[in-house]
A and B are shown apart, each in its own frame.
Chain A
Amino acid sequence: MTQTNIKNKTFADLYSGTKDFLLPNIVRKKSTNLFDKIKLPNNKTENWRKFNSDSIFKHNYKLGKKLSVETKDLDSLSFFEPSGNYVILVNGFFHSGNVKNTDLNNNIFIGSLKDAQKTHSEIISGRLNTQNTETENYFSVLNDAYAKDGAFIYVPENVILDEPIYIMHFIQSDNGNIFSQNRNLIIAGKNTAFKIIHTYHSLSSDFSFNNSLTDIFADEKAQLEYYLFEGEGNTAAHVNNININSEKGSSFKSNIVTFCGSVVRNNIYAEFKNEFAEVNLQGIYMPDKEQTVDNFIEIKHAKPNCRSNQIFKGIIDNKAVAVFTGKVFVAKDAQKTDSAQSNQNLLLTDYARVHSRPQLEIYADDVVCSHGSTTGQLDNEALFYMKTRGIPEKRAKTMLMKAFLRDVTDKINVTGYREYVNFLISKRLKGQSPESLCSVKVCPSC
C-alpha cells in the first residue's frame, strides 16, 4: 500500500480501493458529502483552536492492518483478567473476545461490531449513525464514512454485572506510520448496572494515528461506569470521539486517564434525551515533553431535571500543552438543570502551557450552573508546612501532586484498575518518563 501525505490529499484517499465498511452506504454517502463542508481543522477552527494538528498531518500514513497481539503483551497490564469479559482489538479490527459463562448473561454480547451487525441487527440499527453535525467534527465524519470494525458491548435489560468488561485496543505497525480507525458501540439496556474499562495502547515505535468513535447508550435507569485509559506512547496521536446518550433516570459516570500520547484529543459529547438523568465526567491528564492533550467536552441539557458534573485535572510538565474546553448547553425548556464544571491545572515548568475554556450557554432560567478554572503551581504554604515537619521538598511535592490527582483517581471503582493507575502516577511523579511507563512492559508486580 502506498503512503499518502495528508496535507496534500485526505485521509479518505487512504481507503480508495478498500471495501467492507461498517456503516451502510447510504449513510456513508451523506458523510462523504460533508467533506465539502467540513475541512481538516486548523488553528482558525474555533473548536480546534489550540489543537496541534500539524504534528498529525505532517506524517505520511498507510492503513493499519489486522495484526495479532501476543499474550505476553497482556501480562503487564495487571488489571486485566483473561478469564473475565473482554474484547481485544488490533488496529481497530476484532482480535479476540470472551464472555464469562454464567447463567445470567446468556444474552450479553461482547465482541466485534462487524460480526454483531449480522446477529444483532435489530438492536444496532438506529444506534449507529447518531453523529451530531453541528459541532463540525471532521474526524467523527471520517469515522462514519470509513470505519470498518470495532467493539460492540450489549448488556440486555435487568442484567447487573459485578466484574468489569474490558475493551482493549492495541495499535501495532508491521512497518511504517499507520492510520487506523475503530467504531465502538456500547448499549446499556434498561435497569442494567455494569462497568467498562476501555484502554488504548500502542505496541510499536512507528508513528500512529488512531481515530476512534464510541457511541454509548445508557437506557432507562441504567447505571454505567466507563473508565477510559489512554496510554499510547510518545509516537501515537489519538482523536477519541465519544457520544453519550442518556435516557430517563440513567446514570453515566466516566473517568478518563490520559496518560501519554503525542497528541490526544478527546471529543466528548453527552446529550440528555430524557429527564432525571445524570452524567458525571472526570479526567486527569499528565502530558510531558512536547505532548498535547486536548479535552473538548460538550454537554447538552436538552431536557429538564438532569444533572451533570465535570472535573478535569492536569499536571503539565516540560513543553507540554493542555487544552480544556468544557461547554454546558442548557436548552430553553431544560429547567431545574444542575451543572457544575471544574478544570484545574498545575504547571511544572515555564514552557508548559494551558488553554482553558469552560463555557456556559444557557437558555433556561431556573437552573444552577457553575464553572471554575484554576491554573497555578503547588501551594507554597503547604510545601513549607510539610518541610517543617521534616519531609524533604522533593517528596513533599510528589505527595501534593499525588493528592491533587487522587481526587479523581480515588473515584475509580475497580480495585485492580485503580491500583494500576495510581502505580503509574506515582512512578511518573517520581520522574520516570511517560514513554517508558506507557510501554505495556511495565507493571506493578514485575
Chain B
Amino acid sequence: MGKDDKIINELQEKEYEAGFVTDIETEVFPKGLNEDIIKAISAKKGEPDFMLDFRLKAYRYWQEQEEPNWALLKYRKPNFQEISYYAAPKNKAKYNSLDEVDPEIIDTFNKLGVPLEEQKVLSGVAVDVVMDSVSVHTTFQTTLNDLGIIFCSISEAIREHPDLIKKYLATVVPYRDNFYAALNSAVFTDGSFAYIPKGVRCPVELSTYFRINQANTGQFERTLVIADEGSYVSYLEGCTAPQRDENQLHAAVVELIALKDAEIKYSTVQNWYPGNKDGVGGIYNFVTKRGICKGDHSKISWTQVETGSAVTWKYPSTILKGNHSVSEFYSVAVTNNYQQADTGTKMIHVGRNTKSTIISKGISLGKSSNTYRGLVDIKKSASNARNYSQCDSLLIGDKCGAHTFPYIDVDNSTAITEHEATTSKIAEDQIFYCNQRGLDTESAVSLIVNGFAKEVLSKLPMEFAAEAKKLLSITLEGSVG
C-alpha cells in the first residue's frame, strides 16, 4: 500500500508543465461589459450591421439571465465586470511565411510540442493558430482554396462570407440557448470557420490551437463548421494555457452543421491550466458545443480528451434531425487535485432510424470531482431510434469523487435505449497480475489506465492521438513510464 500512496502523492503533486506566459504586446480593452464595449468590439472587427444587432440582442438577453447552478460544481462565480472582453496581439499584420511570425509565438508552440513548421511539413495539418483572440497564421490555405474549402477565422468569414454566416450562425446554438451562449454571442472576438462544399472530402485535418494568453482576459471563441451535402471533414481543436493564479473564464460556442450525407468528425484535446495542487487558479471552462445532423444519412462524431481546467462545464451535443443520421460521443475526462468536471453529452433524436453511441470514461485523482451528465432524448418522431451509452469511472485515491447522472427520456415505443455505468478502482488483482509479469506498480497503473481509456483514444486521428497520450501521461505522471 505504501508504494501506491507514493505514486498517488506523486500524481497529485505534478505541476502543470505548459505553464508559461508569452510576452507579446497586446491591445486590451478596459475591464467591464456594456453596450459600448460590444459596439467597440464589433467596430474593431469591421463587422456588418447584422452582426452588431445580433451581439446587442444577445447582450440584452444575457442581462436578464441568471447564472445556472444545477451542475455539481463549486466555484466562485466570476465577476463579469472584472473581465476585459477584448485582447489582440498588437502586431497583427498577416504573414506570408512563417519567418515573419513573431519568434516568441513560434517559441511558445515549440514549448508545447507543437512545432508549426514541423507540423506543416510532416503532418500535413493546416493549423489556424489562435493566439488570444486574433487569428495569426493560416497554413495550407492554397490547397484548401483549390477545393473550394473555406477555412479561416470567424471574423474574416463575417467580412468575406456574410451570406454563409447569416444563414448558419447561431442556428444550432441560438443566443437564447443558455447564459454562457448568450454571453459568448455578445462578445465573441474570434474563432474558426470552416465550410466544406458539396461532395468534397477535406484532404487534411483542419486544426486550430487555442491558448489563453493575456492574464485576466476571458476567451470567447466561436467556431462554426458547415459540411455541405456529401462532404467530409475532420476538425481538431487543442488547447493549453499558461499558469496564472486568477481564474480565467472561457465560454466558447461551437456549432457543427452536417447536411445530407455529410460527416463531421470533431476531436478536441483540452489541457488548460487546472490550478495548482491547492486548487488555486485555473481556467473556468463553460462551453456550449452542439452539432446538428440536418440532412438524412449525416453523421457527427465527437471525441474529447479533457485533462485541464479548474472547472469544466461542457456537454457536446447532437441533434439528430435527419433520418438515418448517426452520432457518436467518445470522451475521456481526467481530473486531479481540486479539478471539477461536469461533462457529458446530449443526444436528441428527432429523425427516424437515428443512432447514437456514447462512451464516456472518467478518471478521478486527488481531491477532484468528475461527473458525467448526459441526456438521451428520443422524441416522438424518432421511430426505431437506437442509443447505447456506457459510462465508466475509475477512482484513484480515496478523496476524489466520480458521479454519473444520465437522463433518459423516451417518447417513442419503437426506440431502444441502453445505459450502463460502472464505478470502481483499479483492482488489486489486476495490479498483482501485472506485478507477477514483471511490471512494477507504477507501470501497471499506467497500463491499466491507458487500457481503460483506449476505446476512446483510438477514435482520435493519428496526429492527435500522440498528443492525447502525452497529456494523459502528464496528468498521470509518476505512473506512466
User: A interface vs B, CB < 8 Å?
Assistant: 46, 50, 332, 335, 345, 347-377
Contact = CB atoms under 8 A, between A and B. Distances in A.
A305 to B, nearest CB: 15
Q: From DSSP, what is the main secondary structure of chain A's interface residues?
A: strand
A150 B436 CA distance: 62
Which are the 5 A-B pairs with shortest beta-carbon distances?
A: A347-B413, A365-B395, A376-B416, A356-B408, A373-B419
B415 A375 contact: yes
B398 A365 contact: yes
Contacts of B413: 347-350, 352, 377
Interface string B387-431: 000000101111111111111111111111111111111000000
A364 B399 CA distance: 7
Select the residue from B70, B397, B402 with max chain A CB neighbours within 10 A.
Answer: B402
B379 to A, nearest CB: 10
B422 A369 contact: yes
A348 B415 CA distance: 11
A355 B408 CA distance: 5
Given A46-B70, A360-B402, A362-B393, A377 B422 contact: no
Contacts, number: 119
A353 B397 CA distance: 40
A79 B395 CA distance: 48
A369 B401 CA distance: 13
B405 A357 contact: yes
A353 B402 contact: no
B380 interface: yes
A375 B387 CA distance: 10
Given A350-B413, A352-B413, A376-B415, A367 B423 contact: yes
Given A350-B380, A362-B403, A377-B413, A367 B408 contact: no
Interface string B370-381: 000000000010
B111 to A, nearest CB: 35
Interface centre among B383, B416, B419 (most CB of A within 10 A): B419
A374 B425 contact: no
Nearest to A339: B423
Contacts of A335: 398
A364 B409 CA distance: 29
A375 B420 contact: no
Given A360-B403, A361-B401, A355 B421 contact: no
Given A375-B417, A377-B416, A360 B423 contact: yes
Nearest to A356: B408
Contacts of A347: 410, 412-413, 415
Interface residues of B, number: 36
A181 B409 CA distance: 31
Contacts of A351: 380
Given A359-B406, A367-B423, 15 more contacts: A50-B409, A335-B398, A345-B410, A347-B410, A350-B413, A353-B411, A355-B410, A359-B405, A360-B393, A360-B402, A365-B398, A365-B425, A366-B398, A375-B415, A377-B414
A374 B417 CA distance: 5
Interface in B196-250: none
B479 to A, nearest CB: 15
Contact of B412 (A350, A355, A359, A373): A350
B155 to A, nearest CB: 38
A69 B389 CA distance: 50
A161 B68 CA distance: 53
A347 B408 CA distance: 14
A358 B425 contact: no
A381 to B, nearest CB: 13
A366 B408 contact: no
Q: Report which residue of B72, B400, B401, B408 has the largest number of chain A beta carbons within 10 angstroms of its beta carbon.
A: B408
Q: Which of A368, A370, A372, A373 has the most CB of B within 10 A?
A: A373
A348 B412 CA distance: 9
Nearest to B397: A365
B367 to A, nearest CB: 10
A343 B393 CA distance: 20
Given A349-B413, A362-B423, A365-B395, A373 B401 contact: no
B410 A354 contact: yes
Nearest to A368: B424
A295 to B, nearest CB: 14
A355 B409 contact: yes
B398 A357 contact: no
Contacts of B399: 332
A358 B396 contact: no
A359 B405 CA distance: 5
A28 B421 CA distance: 41
Nearest to B377: A355
A354 B398 contact: no
Contacts of B404: 358-360, 371
Given A348-B413, A369-B423, A362 B406 contact: no
Given A332-B398, A362-B423, A371-B421, A357 B414 contact: no
Contacts of B419: 356, 358, 371-374
Nearest to B392: A370
Contact of A370 (B402, B415, B422): B422
A232 B37 CA distance: 61
Contacts of A373: 406, 408, 417-419
5 contacts: A46-B70, A360-B423, A364-B398, A367-B424, A371-B419
Contacts of B398: 332, 335, 364-366
Nearest to B398: A365
A338 to B, nearest CB: 11
Contacts of B393: 360, 362
Contacts of B414: 350, 377
Contact of B410 (A349, A353, A359, A368): A353
B395 A362 contact: yes
Contacts of A364: 395, 398
A375 B425 contact: no
A111 to B, nearest CB: 42
A332 B398 CA distance: 7
Contact of A362 (B397, B402, B407): B402
